[in-house]
Structure 1
Amino acid sequence: MHFVYMVRCSDNSLYTGYTNDLDKRIEVHNTGKGAKYTKSRLPVSIVFYRRVDSKSIGLRLEARLKKLSKKKKEDLVQKFALRNELSLS
């Protein structure tokens, strides 16, 4: 499986990444061994993810998401949270 994800850092910023093991990647981020960006902004929590079919698709989507404005990223996070909240009801 391949995932593109966003985590919320302790300073309220968002970090976007790609992985083939989402749970393990979040754990690595929170041990300070993940990305340089998140290392000084721990802990992080997952706020968005999308499963994709291949690494190449995942890396292209990651690049597109990283170019979005903070507002558009926050909109995606909000929609993701709402969709997941509704599916739990």
Structure 2
Amino acid sequence: MSKPWFLYMIECVDGSIYTGIAVDVAGRYAAHCAGTGARYTRSHPPLRLLGYENHPDRSSASKAEYRIKQLSPGEKRRYAASLGLGRAET
């Protein structure tokens, strides 16, 4: 059985929203905060973790990430608000 993957959303200090996937949300968020995460969060430091959701595998999480990245900033904020700090598999 494979590990679950998570889609997570971070609000950056400039108000932008970063969306990513990981198997360890806390560890990945810590990496973003330390400046060793994604290139985007090195130049747009994280302010807070908005939420995350569970996916059964990497493929499912990647598809969800792509779908979220296509949303407008307002739609991303509404989606992030629906997540809270965790949500069951979608």
* TM-score normalised by the chain length of structure 2: 0.84
2:28 matched to which residue of 1? 25
Structure 2: stretches of 5+ with no match in the other structure: 86-90
Task: Output the CA distance in 1 between the equivalents of 2:19 and 2:42.
Answer: 14
Number of residue pairs matched by the alignment: 82
Identity %: 33
Contact 2:9 2:19 in 1 (8 A): yes
Question: In terms of mean alpha carbon deviation, does 43-52 or 58-67 score higher?
Answer: 43-52
Larger Rg: 1
Q: Which amino acid aligns with 1:64?
A: R
Q: Which residue of 2 aligns with 1:15?
A: 18
Change beyond 3 A, Cα 1:43–1:75: closer
**Which of 52, 75, 81 matches 2:78?**
75
Q: Which amino acid aligns with 1:59?
A: S
RMSD: 1.3
Q: Which has the higher helix share?
A: 1
